A and B are shown apart, each in its own frame.
Chain A
Amino acid sequence: MTTTKSDALLPAQGIEAPRSGRIDPKYLRNGFSKSGSFEMAAWVFMRVSGAALVVLIFVHLAVNLLVGEGIHQIDFGFVAGKWANPVWQFWDLTMLWLAMLHGGNGMRTIINDYAEKDSTRMWLKSILYLSVIVIIVLGTMVIFTFEPCLLDNSGQLLESSPSFCQNV
């Protein structure tokens, strides 16, 4: 396909920018509108977090599903082995925060698009923000309060404990 043909398909190209200067301020992109700077930051965040998430998630999937025994290797001991390493703790923490904020912001856009009634939009967004906060707090606490070597009532190591617990 040649570019001249596709250029010819764009009708807006023949229209010049208005020169009167009488433009509603909300359409100006100079940062003077109130919601403008937040939406601009959100737009940039979607792109920056998206680029980071490609690496974070692809490595997560590769390590958990494609190496070793794949899906069969995943159990309590596998998680314990990973989170014994601060690199994986930090990896999961970053992935959790970025994915939830990116996905949450994307869901906000979608609610704004489809929920036309003010009260519906307000309710859906309240539920969304609450779920995002609960999941981020829960996920963060799980990573940092995780205890791999659990004891039973008599002080014995649980049978299902990962093998490295024997050495501590």
Chain B
Amino acid sequence: MTQTKGTLYKGREGMWSWVGHRITGVGIFFFLLVHVLDTSLVRVSPEAYNAVIGAYKNPIMIVGEIGLVGAIVFHAFNGLRIILVDFWSQGTRYHRQMLWTVMGLWVITMIGFTVRHLMLFLDGWGGF
């Protein structure tokens, strides 16, 4: 590794993982606000709930769901990395290796999820 000039943090892995953690956290938070509201439609009527939840089964939303799960999986794995950095005695030493582990596990999880989600979606899809 080469000696870097200037700050040790700005523009490096630590900064980008922090930016990613922050953006995914905000995104999930706003999703959850809407999600509790749409679930609460079960108290209005079965028709109202089914109509709104039907929107989740349209191809554009399927892409959105893959994005949402991608955000959750990154935030979750990177959150576990943050916890290890804080509590594991070797955490700060291996923070960078752990970030690459997070990215690797993210790619594997997302390939699996995307394939499964798309296949189930196409199976039951009635077309446009």
CB distance from A54 to the nearest CB of B (A): 5
Q: Which secondary structure dominates chain B's binding surface?
A: helix
Task: Find out whether the CB atom of B40 lies under 8 angstroms from the CB atom of A75.
Answer: no
Using Cβ atoms and an 8 Å threshold, which residues of chain B touch A54? 76, 79-80
| Apart from A54-B80, A65-B69, A76-B46, 4 more pairs, CB < 8 Å | A9-B8, A50-B76, A70-B116, A79-B39
| 23 residue pairs A–B, Cβ–Cβ below 8 Å | A1-B96, A3-B93, A5-B1, A6-B1, A11-B8, A57-B72, A65-B65, A65-B117, A66-B113, A66-B116, A71-B62, A71-B65, A72-B57, A74-B57, A75-B53, A79-B39, A99-B32, A103-B32, A110-B26, A138-B36, A138-B40, A150-B46, A160-B50
* Contact-size category for A: 35 or more
**Segment 69-118 of A: residues with Cβ below 8 Å from B:** 69-72, 74-77, 79-80, 96, 99-100, 103-104, 106-107, 110
CB distance from B12 to the nearest CB of A (A): 10
Residues of A within 8 A of B (CB): 1, 3, 5-6, 9-11, 47, 50-51, 53-54, 57-58, 61, 65-66, 69-72, 74-77, 79-80, 96, 99-100, 103-104, 106-107, 110, 131, 135, 138-139, 142, 145-146, 150, 158, 160-161
Residues of B within 8 A of A (CB): 1, 3-4, 8, 22, 25-26, 28-29, 32-33, 36-37, 39-40, 42-43, 45-47, 49-50, 53, 56-57, 62, 65, 69, 72, 76, 79-80, 82-83, 86-87, 93, 96, 113, 116-117, 120-121, 123-125
Task: Find out whether the CB atom of B42 lies under 8 angstroms from the CB atom of A72.
Answer: no
Task: Give Cα A47 to B43, complex, Å.
Answer: 33
Using Cβ atoms and an 8 Å threshold, which residues of chain B touch A57? 72, 76
Task: Find out whether the CB atom of A71 lies under 8 angstroms from the CB atom of B117.
Answer: yes
Task: Find out whether the CB atom of B3 lies under 8 angstroms from the CB atom of A9.
Answer: yes
Q: Which residue of B lies closest to A70 (CB)?
A: B120
CB distance from A69 to the nearest CB of B (A): 5
Task: Give Cα A102 to B93, complex, Å.
Answer: 27
Task: Find out whether the CB atom of A107 lies under 8 angstroms from the CB atom of B49.
Answer: no
Given A103-B28, A139-B39, A142-B40, A70 and B117 touching (CB < 8 A)?
yes
Report the 4 A-B pairs with minimum CB-CB distance, sorted nearest first: A70-B120, A72-B124, A76-B46, A160-B46
Task: Give Cα A75 to B54, complex, Å.
Answer: 8
Task: Find out whether the CB atom of B26 lies under 8 angstroms from the CB atom of A107.
Answer: yes
CB distance from B101 to the nearest CB of A (A): 15
Task: Give Cα A28 to B39, complex, Å.
Answer: 46
